[in-house]
């Protein structure tokens, strides 16, 4: 079995140790290294080529946002999951804008952290339930003044628009599949085509885009 290779980046030794225990407890995940600062994270990524980086926002040298941007300038970018105690909306949006693939809180259950690593490694965006609610609430509470559909929206099929709407409400592949009576594999195919047509990188960007254009409103 091929394991997902993970780098833990946090300035606190105890936190790194705790995250390493959580990751290594899963049979399909393994910690290949640790880093305590922004520059060390970049050096370790260059040396170890991990599949996923669990990255804290507040670190000496360069914070997690700057590190995320720097990693995206590399030829091969690992998947990046921000793990932090800070649930501030500003951190969430900065992380997503910088190119993070996920955002989970350090007090999340071990199973959620492990699943976040797996999902990121598989190319899916990861937001903890609390952060998904914040993201959705932000845009539903403040509707955009211009409801014009985003570029590429007219290329979406009726089914893809349904999937986008449910995705924007925070639905997982399994939840969307159950709602539309289709398989999870079909949902994943729809999501891939949606991202391609709208020129988006991941699910998190789809949620943000749908919120800005009022596409997540309930039927």
Q: Domain map of the chain by residue range? A: 4-130, 141-212
Query: Which helix (H) or strand (E) element contains residue 88?
Result: none
Find the DSSP H helices in the chain. Answer: 13-24, 38-48, 64-72, 89-98, 110-121, 129-141, 158-168, 173-180, 184-198, 203-212
For the domain spanning 141-212, the CATH number is: 1.10.10.10
> How high is the pLDDT of residue 130?
62
Kindly tell me if the per-residue pLDDT of 180 is higher than 50: yes
> How high is the pLDDT of residue 20?
94
Band of residue 124 on the pLDDT scale cut at 50, 70, 90: confident
| Distance, CA of 14 to CA of 36 (rounded, Å) | 11
Q: Going by CATH, does the domain composed of 4-130 fall within 3.40.190.10?
A: no
> How high is the pLDDT of residue 129?
63
> How high is the pLDDT of residue 219?
43
Tokens of 61: 């040298």
| Distance, CA of 101 to CA of 122 (rounded, Å) | 11
């Amino acid at each position: 079995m091929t394991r997902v290779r993970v780098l833990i980046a946090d300035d606190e030794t105890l936190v790194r140790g705790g995250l390493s225990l959580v990751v290594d407890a899963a049979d399909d995940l393994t910690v290949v290294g640790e880093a305590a600062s922004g520059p060390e994270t970049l050096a370790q990524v260059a040396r170890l080529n991990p599949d996923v980086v669990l990255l804290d926002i507040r670190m000496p040298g360069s914070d997690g946002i700057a590190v995320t941007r720097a990693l995206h300038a590399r030829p091969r970018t690992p998947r990046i999951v921000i793990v932090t105690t800070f649930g501030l909306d500003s951190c969430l949006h900065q992380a997503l804008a910088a190119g993070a693939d996920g955002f989970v809180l350090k007090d999340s259950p071990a199973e959620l952290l492990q699943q976040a690593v797996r999902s990121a490694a598989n190319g899916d965006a990861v937001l903890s339930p609390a952060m998904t609610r914040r993201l959705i609430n932000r845009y539903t509470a403040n509707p955009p003044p211009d409801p014009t559909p985003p570029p590429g929206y007219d290329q979406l099929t009726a089914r893809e628009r349904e999937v986008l709407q449910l995705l924007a409400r925070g639905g997982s592949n399994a939840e969307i599949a159950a709602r539309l009576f289709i398989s999870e594999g079909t949902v994943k195919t729809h999501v891939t085509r949606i991202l391609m047509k709208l020129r988006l990188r991941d699910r998190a960007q789809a949620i943000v885009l749908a919120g800005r254009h009022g596409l997540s409103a309930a039927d």
